[in-house]
Chain A
Amino acid sequence: MNITMTLNGKKISADIDADMLLIDFVRDHGCYSVKRGCETSNCGLCTVFLDEKPVLSCSVLAARADGRTVTTLEGLQEEAAEFGAFIADQGAEQCGFCNPGFIMNALALFREKEYPDEDEIKEYLAGNLCRCSGYEGQLRGIQAFLEWKKEKNGKEAAEA
């Protein structure tokens, strides 16, 4: 069957098998940041946005994304670098394999709530597993990012 979706801002059409998963579709179209870590929808590595909502691309048929918008980290490079720098400053990116899914979901969190507290951060990101970091460094990075953003927005508001 043929599907059309907007992938990272670009409209693409392709012929696919009905059972093609969104993760394989996006990887076939150059979005290598999207990783596979399990077969049971548990790890969160494959997180992408489907119409702006974070979902597990391993559990979505590509066909279901027909006519919709899909975003991967490849389409959010500036935001990823801006936020990711704070993770890098902690050394909490470690092996990096969980990073794209984790950062996608973190960006989704910040869109839903601009300044989440610690419990909100932990609960929202609970579906993003990491085996290297123990999560603590990633939390430090997030909190540093939020502090920086608050300050930046405060300055910008003052200047406005």
Chain B
Amino acid sequence: MRVIREYKRAESLEEAWQLNQKKSNRVLGGMVWLKMGKMQIGTAIDLSGLGLDTIEETEEEFRIGCMVTLRDLELDPGLNAYTDGAARESVRHIVGVQFRNLATVGGSIYGRYGFSDVLTMFLAMDSYVELYKGGILPLKEYAKMPYDRDILVRLIVKKEKAAFDYQSVRNSQTDFPVLTCAAAKTETGYRFSIGARPGKAVLFELADADIQAADVENMAENAAKCVKDQVETGSNTRGSSEYRKHLAGVLVRRAVCKLAGK
């Protein structure tokens, strides 16, 4: 555990943002990842007191505060109804309930980690991040940006007519994923968000026309081949690049088979 000189429970977003401009300061999410780092922190900024720990659902969208925990995502009835349980599936393998009671959506999304199931899941939806100074950006775009000192205030998911599915492959049930795949079937086609490549999630959008075939099996094969050909994978202790590519094909195929009727 590294040294933290001061702790401040921010009383406003402005205060939090001001503090965060100092290089040695850090915003605390769930702290689970931060805890393992080796660097010295000046002031640890806690956003707990700002009411950002709720999921609001309206007719048009979900507004997910940055301090919402992964466990909240797992249990939220509205979000799981909307995603056909994919939201729960995307987080339920992550270490344990106690861990998920701490890890936050903000921490996960800000971190844009390669292994992130959360990033994979939200990338497949029509998602936006709301930054304190930077305003609202599509998650697709945010995922590619480098780290900065803005505060991630909330995640917004615009509702659309879509069906969702989440899959992951792991070497053991609560381990980091070897590959993740969140799929969405929209009115015009499919979206596949492939993560843990081991790089962070990337999105593939396929129109119905791109993968059209005589039956679902063949359509699924087409989609799988399409993604396999495009997805860049790498090797690490959990798996080889070749295996990840193979998995990408398997998971995409299975996602299409599952979602085709919906």
- A residues sitting closer than 8 Å to B (CB atoms) are 1, 18-19, 21, 39-42, 44, 47, 50, 53-56, 58-61, 63-64, 66, 105, 108, 123-128
| Most chain A beta-carbon contacts within 10 A, residue among B5, B28, B35 | B35
- Measured CA separation A92–B96 after assembly (Å): 21
- Measured CA separation A41–B70 after assembly (Å): 15
Q: Is B22 an interface residue (CB 8 A)?
A: no
Contact check: which of A41, A44, A55 meets B35 at CB < 8 Å? A41
Q: A18-B7, A59-B31, A127-B95 are in contact. Are A53 and B101 (CB under 8 A)?
A: yes
- B residues sitting closer than 8 Å to A (CB atoms) are 1-7, 9, 28, 30-32, 35-36, 41, 44, 46, 48, 92, 95-99, 101-102, 173-174
B121 to chain A, nearest CB (A): 18
B3 nearest CB neighbor, chain A only: A19
- Measured CA separation A124–B99 after assembly (Å): 11
B92 to chain A, nearest CB (A): 7
- Chain B residues with Cβ below 8 Å from A128 are 96
Are the C-beta atoms of A41 and B95 separated by less than 8 Å? yes
Are the C-beta atoms of A64 and B48 separated by less than 8 Å? yes
- Chain A residues with Cβ below 8 Å from B1 are 19, 21, 39
Contact check: which of A18, A42, A50 meets B44 at CB < 8 Å? A18
- Measured CA separation A61–B4 after assembly (Å): 10
- Chain B residues with Cβ below 8 Å from A40 are 36
Q: A19-B1, A127-B96 are in contact. Are A60 and B9 (CB under 8 A)?
A: no
- Measured CA separation A124–B100 after assembly (Å): 11
Contact check: which of B3, B102, B173 meets A126 at CB < 8 Å? B173
Cross-chain pairs A/B with CB under 8 angstroms, 17 sampled: A19-B5, A19-B41, A41-B32, A44-B98, A54-B98, A56-B99, A56-B102, A59-B99, A61-B4, A61-B7, A64-B7, A64-B31, A105-B96, A105-B98, A125-B96, A126-B96, A127-B99
Q: A41-B99, A56-B98, A127-B98 are in contact. Are A1 and B31 (CB under 8 A)?
A: no
Are the C-beta atoms of B36 and A39 separated by less than 8 Å? yes
A138 to chain B, nearest CB (A): 15
Are the C-beta atoms of B97 and A105 separated by less than 8 Å? yes
Q: A1-B7, A21-B1, A126-B173 are in contact. Are A61 and B28 (CB under 8 A)?
A: yes
- Chain B residues with Cβ below 8 Å from A61 are 4, 7, 28, 31, 44, 46
Are the C-beta atoms of B92 and A123 separated by less than 8 Å? yes
A123 nearest CB neighbor, chain B only: B92
Are the C-beta atoms of B44 and A55 separated by less than 8 Å? no
B95 nearest CB neighbor, chain A only: A127
A21 nearest CB neighbor, chain B only: B1
- Chain A residues with Cβ below 8 Å from B32 are 41, 56, 59
10 smallest beta-carbon distances between A and B, as pairs: A127-B96, A19-B4, A63-B7, A18-B7, A18-B4, A54-B98, A56-B98, A59-B32, A41-B32, A53-B101
- Chain A residues with Cβ below 8 Å from B173 are 126
Q: A55-B102, A59-B31 are in contact. Are A127 and B7 (CB under 8 A)?
A: no
- Chain B residues with Cβ below 8 Å from A66 are 9
- Measured CA separation A19–B96 after assembly (Å): 24
B94 nearest CB neighbor, chain A only: A127
- Measured CA separation A63–B43 after assembly (Å): 12
- Chain A residues with Cβ below 8 Å from B4 are 18-19, 61
- Measured CA separation A21–B36 after assembly (Å): 13
- Measured CA separation A154–B57 after assembly (Å): 39
